């Protein structure tokens, strides 16, 4: 199956690299740490919701036939998770948006993903920073994952009527060594990430 693909770096502006194979499927990998070991070409956006959305909007405006998007890569374990677990979100929570008392907090998105494989399912909190402790005491779930892009991309895909799957691997658990564990484990778990992408492509 052909993969909608290109390399795009959001550092000092947008730079396109590689050939684009046009199809209905798009694979988004934000961080780039796993890129050298992946067996599939991806849209590499840079970390964070702004980078991810800018890249997605630019890409989908030029390739209007995209029907299925996989957001993959790595997430953090906020509660009850271990490195190496494959995760899909049950719901998505916008962790950066807090305007209490004007609006209810936290804000949830149910326009997220189809949970194709039911690997390990739990809520994802999306916010744009590495966490070294758990700041979400008022979000009452026993298991909780954290990433930077899922909530925003889910809203964008819903509005563009694009099917979104979110499948991520836990790279680190919240603590003082989170960033070091992320770098180490993103390389370690890249072969597992390739298997996840292959399974998704065989399903959509």
Determine, yes or no, domain membership for 22: yes
| Residue 124: φ, ψ to 5° | -110, 130
Determine, yes or no, domain membership for 86: yes
Determine, yes or no, domain membership for 142: yes
pLDDT digits (tens, 9 = 90+) for 87-104: 999 889 988 888 888 888
Determine, yes or no, domain membership for 2: no
pLDDT digits (tens, 9 = 90+) for 177-201: 888 998 899 889 988 888 888 889 8
- Classified as helix, coil or strand, 75 is strand
Determine, yes or no, domain membership for 1: no
Determine, yes or no, domain membership for 76: yes
Determine, yes or no, domain membership for 153: yes
| Position 42 confidence tier, pLDDT thresholds 50, 70, 90 | confident
Of 1-15, 47-61, 110-124, which gets the smallest average pLDDT? Answer: 1-15
Determine, yes or no, domain membership for 99: yes
Range of the domain at 94: 7-203
pLDDT digits (tens, 9 = 90+) for 74-84: 999 999 999 99
- CATH code of the domain containing 142: 3.40.50.1580
Distance from C-alpha of 202 to C-alpha of 76, rounded to nearest angstrom: 27
Q: How far is CA 136 from CA 31, 127, 154, in A?
A: 24, 11, 21
Query: How many separate domains does the chain show?
Result: 1
């Amino acid at each position: 199956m052909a993969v909608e693909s290109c390399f795009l770096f959001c550092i000092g502006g947008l730079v396109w690299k590689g050939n684009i194979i046009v199809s209905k499927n798009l694979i988004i990998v934000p961080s780039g740490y796993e890129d050298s070991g992946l067996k599939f070409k991806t849209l590499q956006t840079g970390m964070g919701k702004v980078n991810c959305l800018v890249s997605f909007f630019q890409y989908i405006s030029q390739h209007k036939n995209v029907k299925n998007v996989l957001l993959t890569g790595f997430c953090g374990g906020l509660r009850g998770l271990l490195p190496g677990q494959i995760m899909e979100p049950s719901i998505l929570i916008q962790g950066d948006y807090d305007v209490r008392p004007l609006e209810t907090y936290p804000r949830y998105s149910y326009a997220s993903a189809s949970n194709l494989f039911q690997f390990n399912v739990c809520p994802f909190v999306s916010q744009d920073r590495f966490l070294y402790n758990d700041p979400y005491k008022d979000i009452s779930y026993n298991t909780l994952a954290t990433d930077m892009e899922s909530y925003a991309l889910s809203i964008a895909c819903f509005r563009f009527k694009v099917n979104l799957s979110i499948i991520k691997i836990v790279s680190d658990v919240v603590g003082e060594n989170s960033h070091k564990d992320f770098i180490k484990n993103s390389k370690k778990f890249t072969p597992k990430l390739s298997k996840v992408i292959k399974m998704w492509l065989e399903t959509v």
